[in-house]
Chain A
């Protein structure tokens, strides 16, 4: 179909096979996420394709997309940054850090940089309250953020490299929790 890459069609068919044939529509959420991963956002063409592929109405597809805040109907930057603004991160300085990030990128939350490289979203809890401030870039997670750490991450991304994300386990000692 129009504007849908071959690979995505194939991937969608694989996802659909995970569900009983009479509940084909259960594959709607994973198929939409796969489409968003490959195309960056969910265009009207993708919505129509998802509806016909899964045998649901276009209205149903829009209901699902509008329900989940991680689904986008507008294009995002190449690197989509989700910055936590919940209470635990805020208490560890996320508010000023978000302003720093915004000034560094030259955009506010909800916007995309002119070059299309970055987009920023202020999001609810990322489940990293013990290691805040936290953010996601794509699917990589970064914890215990500082201005320096943000500078380093952005520099690497600008050079086209995805810096390795943090894993919570080695950090546990840092906040004084008992380790095994």
Chain B
């Protein structure tokens, strides 16, 4: 620890941190463009200049490349510091096209923000004299470059060298002619491309998925956790439901990474970044359906659950609990899985249940963030006890086999599309079970063969907690209400419980979680509040050691 003074305020700072971080610790924001805590220091933008007094000598230094040392007196408000910031901004804006009215970054642009705070100069450059560069360069499948807007901070260049090790972007030319570009044979197409848009402090790099869709000041955000794989990267959901005429059906506008020291640092992969499209996809299930409706009044959830409850009771009486099986989903939240477990295994005594199938789709895995297991909560399902515990109980694949062999009479399936794992004739035979209840978010062939179908809320439409592959329990937040008749999965189990004589008092996800922490040893000691902002490890699971998120082969 060394003691320094920032704007008259005495602060103790840890060793080896720079003045930007030291000031941040003291609650003071130093303006900067090129510095990013996740990347090497370039020192090129000169925006973070500060006046430092040490041993009686005063000097202007750049905060990003100066390490805090004992006895430093730092001024962020000295007159020459303010003057320097104004001059740096004037240089950066000298050839800036000022196309803010059509720029996607307007509203969250550091050129705009710092100009209003520190710049406020009158431009001395006529529009006609401005230096022209390339506009609308299609860099790859996700990113567009406008090099006129670029301030040459090189964050994107360093990200592609140090974090992904792919090096698709470079700064060509020298001096006045310097320009961020790539060469025609190279496409910015790696699994983390979207991060360069987050890094860009101005509007030079924009995301094709978000370009021209919505002004950023219309967006609201809630903290959440990515559902695209078992890593559980922390994210923010940016959504807008107040202007439906601007993009019908599109509630989520984009996902952005949210810093978590132990999980994803500042980054997310593109698979996760664009995974939100499923939430607003046109094939979302929004109505309760039952095979026995025969065109009379629209079915309600009570009727579908009564039919299921009757089938469950019948099967139990005639064939015993061995004739009932549940194929849950590792995409469900801890609360869903807990109520499911409580209802079927503890209350009804069903012991054929699982959440996993051998042939579930898997994704590409790398040492940066992506995991092959695409389900966000398989660890949670295992901890809660949704796995075949002993021999004689069926795992996911055996449940299906047993259902086809007439050993199972009532089958409950969550999300899984069994038409992907069965031959068509076998798949259609599942429709001959006494009862097949299907809970899902999206249209699937399962809807065609199920006796009852209940739409469930997508992850952004509800609160929940998920356990990542390391055993970290993290919380998602509801951004907006579910579509149509969809509701959180645990609510469906709670209602079904009421039909078969199980009363669950909890009425919110938080209350379910509180019950879960009392009854499942692995979750003991956790509280709903403690999961914000960065999650908590399961009881008895040690925090994994810190690891810098980056490729094993960074470029020099």
Contact = CB atoms under 8 A, between A and B. Distances in A.
A25 B556 contact: yes
A67 B185 contact: no
B186 A66 contact: no
A23 B556 CA distance: 9
A67 B174 contact: yes
Contacts of B169: 59
A114 B186 CA distance: 34
Given A63-B170, A67-B173, A67-B174, A58 B186 contact: yes
B182 interface: yes
Majority secondary structure of chain B interface residues (helix, strand, loop or mixed): loop
Contact of A60 (B170, B173, B174): B170
A152 interface: no
Interface string B142-180: 000000000000000000000000111111111000000
Interface residues of B, number: 15
A32 to B, nearest CB: 15
A74 to B, nearest CB: 15
B170 A59 contact: yes
Given A57-B555, A59-B167, A59-B168, A66 B173 contact: yes
A174 to B, nearest CB: 35
A69 B172 CA distance: 12
A158 interface: no
A59 B182 contact: yes
Interface in B515-556: 555-556
A25 B161 CA distance: 14
Contacts of A62: 170, 172, 183
Majority secondary structure of chain A interface residues (helix, strand, loop or mixed): helix
Given A66-B172, A67-B173, A67-B174, A59 B186 contact: yes
A56 B172 CA distance: 15
B357 to A, nearest CB: 41
Nearest to B174: A67
A58 B174 contact: no
Nearest to A48: B185
B169 to A, nearest CB: 7
A60 B182 CA distance: 10
Nearest to A47: B183
Nearest to A59: B170
Nearest to B555: A57
Interface string A64-76: 0011010000000
A59 B170 CA distance: 6
B40 to A, nearest CB: 16
A58 B183 contact: yes
Interface string A30-73: 00000000000000000000000000111110110011010000
Contacts of A57: 166-168, 170, 186, 555
Interface residues of A, number: 12
Contacts of B168: 57, 59
Contacts of A25: 556
A63 B171 contact: yes
Contacts of A66: 172-174
B167 A60 contact: yes
Contacts of B174: 66-67, 69
Contacts of B555: 56-57, 60
Nearest to A23: B556
Nearest to A25: B556
Contacts of B556: 23, 25, 56
Nearest to A67: B174
Contacts of B173: 66-67
B422 to A, nearest CB: 47
A60 B174 CA distance: 14
A62 B173 CA distance: 9
A161 to B, nearest CB: 36
A34 B173 CA distance: 21
A63 B183 CA distance: 10
A25 B183 CA distance: 19
Contacts of B170: 57, 59-60, 62-63
Given A25-B556, A57-B167, A57-B555, A63 B185 contact: no
A83 B311 CA distance: 95
B502 to A, nearest CB: 61
Nearest to B166: A57
B37 to A, nearest CB: 25
Contacts of B171: 63
A126 B182 CA distance: 32
Interface string A121-158: 00000000000000000000000000000000000000
A56 B554 CA distance: 11
B396 to A, nearest CB: 44
Contacts of A23: 556
A63 B172 contact: yes
Q: Which of B166, B170, B185, B555 gathers most chain A CB within 10 Å?
A: B170
A15 to B, nearest CB: 18
Nearest to A66: B172
B519 to A, nearest CB: 54
Contacts of B172: 62-63, 66-67
Given A57-B167, A60-B555, A67-B174, 19 more contacts: A23-B556, A25-B556, A56-B555, A57-B166, A57-B186, A58-B185, A58-B186, A59-B167, A59-B168, A59-B169, A59-B170, A59-B182, A60-B167, A62-B170, A63-B170, A63-B172, A66-B173, A66-B174, A67-B173
20 contacts: A25-B556, A56-B555, A57-B166, A57-B168, A57-B170, A57-B186, A58-B183, A58-B186, A59-B167, A59-B170, A59-B182, A59-B183, A59-B186, A60-B167, A60-B555, A62-B170, A63-B172, A66-B173, A67-B173, A69-B174
Interface of A: 23, 25, 56-60, 62-63, 66-67, 69
Complex A-B, nearest 6 residue pairs according to Cβ-Cβ distance, in ascending order = A57-B167, A66-B172, A59-B170, A63-B170, A66-B173, A67-B174
